[in-house]
Structure 1
Amino acid sequence: MSQTVDRALTILPLLAEGPANLEQVATRLGVHKSTALRLLRTLHEHGIVHRQPDQRYRLGARLFALAQQAAENLDVREIAHPHLVELNARTGHTVHLAVHEGDEVVYIDKVESRYPVRMYSRIGKPVAITVAAVAKLLLADLPEPERRLLAERLEYPRYTSRSLTSAGAFLEELARVREQGWATDLGGHEESINCVGAPVRGPDGRAVAALSVSAPNVVVSADELLELLPLVRRTADAVSAEYSGQTPPKEARS
């Protein structure tokens, strides 16, 4: 039975490349045409593949419906939370998870630091979108026209002397974040708070969330916090892999 399942699953990547006829499927599987036909008929009955009028097979609508349903039911917060707890345990600092909703970026999870100093951020609360590291990560992932339109309609309050105060400066920062794959907020929202973050990506490579580590200057300096960037990125990669149903890289599991 396991061999049958393995053969059936091997058909799907082939058809993902485009329609294929019975002979092509049999050749890819290394089986007789009759065996390939039985597998294709079973998959066709379940809507996983579809037989075209030219007798070639392609992926069926049922497969796409199942994929969409699975994606809609994925809870990135539930998947990420154990990783956030581990990151917090290893660093001692506050860890956030955020998502992009409309014109806002909102915290959906938070693990508090182990020291007495607490941050004012709350789950469900929008972030300071023009300065927060998680916001930069999520907005940097938007297509360029969307980034530009959003940047032009945002307001740019001067929270501190390090805040970005114009659409042009914000777009330059997003371009830099998009290229490097990580982001910081070094005193841009609060002079005494620094933050470094990395994106959580879905199966299509798009950012579905962003996580970050934040700490006040009285605990660690900005340079010391930046030393945690490799760990932050490995954590984000591990969450991305689990969210996408992939095996995380070895270094992300260590």
Structure 2
Amino acid sequence: MKETNTTVIKAMAILELFKAHRSLSLKKVIHLTGSPKTTVYRMILSLEESGFLRKNQHGEYELGFAFLEFGQLVKSRLDIRQVALPVMMKLKEELGEAVNLIVREGNEAIYVEKIETDKPVRVYTGIGRTAPLYAGACPRILLAHMSQDDQEKYLNQVNLNPIASGTITDKVKLIEVLQESKHSGYTISHSELHDDSSAIAAPIMNYEGEICAGISVVGPENRFRNSETLPHFIQQVTKAAYEISNLLGWESNTY
């Protein structure tokens, strides 16, 4: 049996209460924990002195600013590329296709990491390359999960110029695809950035539940048109996005 520090466990039990409650009185904390009044009081005093709890104007306790400080440290130290790379390598081994990691930079998407395929026929995408948010699976998944206001603002000002033979240039159709992508949790593109190329992309969410990146597999179109393998590709890409999101602190029962 592993040794545990009961003081730490009891303190964590108190802090856990504040996930569901914005503020709590001392009496309510005692009731919810079922612990003796003196024990809870000592714990709360220690947590208050450490900055993990603070009293509000109503005399109730709520989470303190220490969590904000630690949260910012965690956020700043989470390098999306470092977190995503092992998952991307696993996805490449599973599907045999190139894997891209992409983030939003203003009104464009930028490729920040890539795992190349071993297959002789491949689609070129280099780290640092940019693409408009409306074109291609990975850029479009970022657009699909933007806030409604930001998405509408973007669509009102952008010109949907054709990049390849399959680029979506009709805004009504693009909006339909964006809605479908957000609902399904993935998107597929064919010949949108390069002729005869295809991609499947899924969103990566951060600990606040906001989209922070997209992951995609990309390759020649003939390898993505197979109705037998396509469901497996979709499943593995969304699974990889879910895994990276969880590593970034995102929690959800659905994806």
Task: Give the TM-score taking structure 1 as reference length.
Answer: 0.90
- Secondary structure of residue in 1 paired with 2:213: strand
Instruction: Tell me if structure 2 keeps the 8 A contact 1:140–1:174.
Output: yes
Equivalent residue number for residue 154 of structure 1: 158
Cα deviation for residue 193 of structure 1 reads 0.4
Q: How many residues are matched?
A: 249
Instruction: Tell me if structure 2 keeps the 8 A contact 1:195–1:225.
Output: no
Cα deviation for residue 171 of structure 1 reads 2.2
Q: Name which of 73, 87, 90 aligns with 1:86.
A: 90
Q: Distance in 2 between matches of 1:81 and 1:36?
A: 44
Q: Name which of 169, 172, 175 aligns with 2:179.
A: 175
2:15 maps to 1:7: no
Equivalent residue number for residue 235 of structure 1: 240
Q: Distance in 2 between matches of 1:222 and 1:194?
A: 12
Q: Name which of 68, 76, 81 aligns with 2:72.
A: 68
Equivalent residue number for residue 244 of structure 1: 249
Instruction: Tell me if structure 1 keeps the 8 A contact 2:133–2:143.
Output: no
Deviation string, structure 1 residues 148-201 (Cα, Å, up to 9, x no partner) = 111122222223332111333322221111111111111222221011011111
Q: Name which of 202, 209, 220 aligns with 1:205.
A: 209
- Secondary structure of residue in 1 paired with 2:43: helix
The percent identity for this pair of structures is 25
Over 6 Å off, 4+ runs: 245-249
Cα deviation for residue 69 of structure 1 reads 2.7
Q: Distance in 2 between matches of 1:18 and 1:219?
A: 51
Q: Distance in 1 between matches of 2:224 and 2:207?
A: 35
Matches within 5 A, 1:53-202: 53-202=57-206
Task: Give the TM-score taking structure 2 as reference length.
Answer: 0.89
**Could you tell me which amino acid in structure 2 is paired with residue 240 of structure 1?**
S
Structure 1 pair 221–168 and aligned structure 2 pair: CA distance change class (3 A):
closer
**Could you tell me which amino acid in structure 2 is paired with residue 26 of structure 1?**
I
Q: Which stretch of structure 1 is more off in the superposition, 126-135 or 89-98?
A: 126-135
**Alpha-carbon RMSD:** 2.2
Equivalent residue number for residue 38 of structure 1: 42
Q: Distance in 2 between matches of 1:103 and 1:162?
A: 20
Deviation string, structure 1 residues 91-150 (Cα, Å, up to 9, x no partner) = 110000111121111111100011122322111211243221111111111121210111
Q: Distance in 1 between matches of 2:137 and 2:227?
A: 16
Structure 2: 5+ residue stretches without partners: none
Cα deviation for residue 68 of structure 1 reads 2.5
Deviation string, structure 1 residues 26-72 (Cα, Å, up to 9, x no partner) = 22222111111111111111111102354321111221222123123
Structure 1: 5+ residue stretches without partners: 250-254
Cα deviation for residue 218 of structure 1 reads 5.0
**Could you tell me which amino acid in structure 1 is paired with residue 210 of structure 2?**
R
Instruction: Tell me if structure 2 keeps the 8 A contact 1:100–1:106.
Output: yes
- Secondary structure of residue in 2 paired with 1:50: strand
Q: Distance in 2 between matches of 1:45 and 1:122?
A: 51
Q: Distance in 1 between matches of 2:174 and 2:128?
A: 24
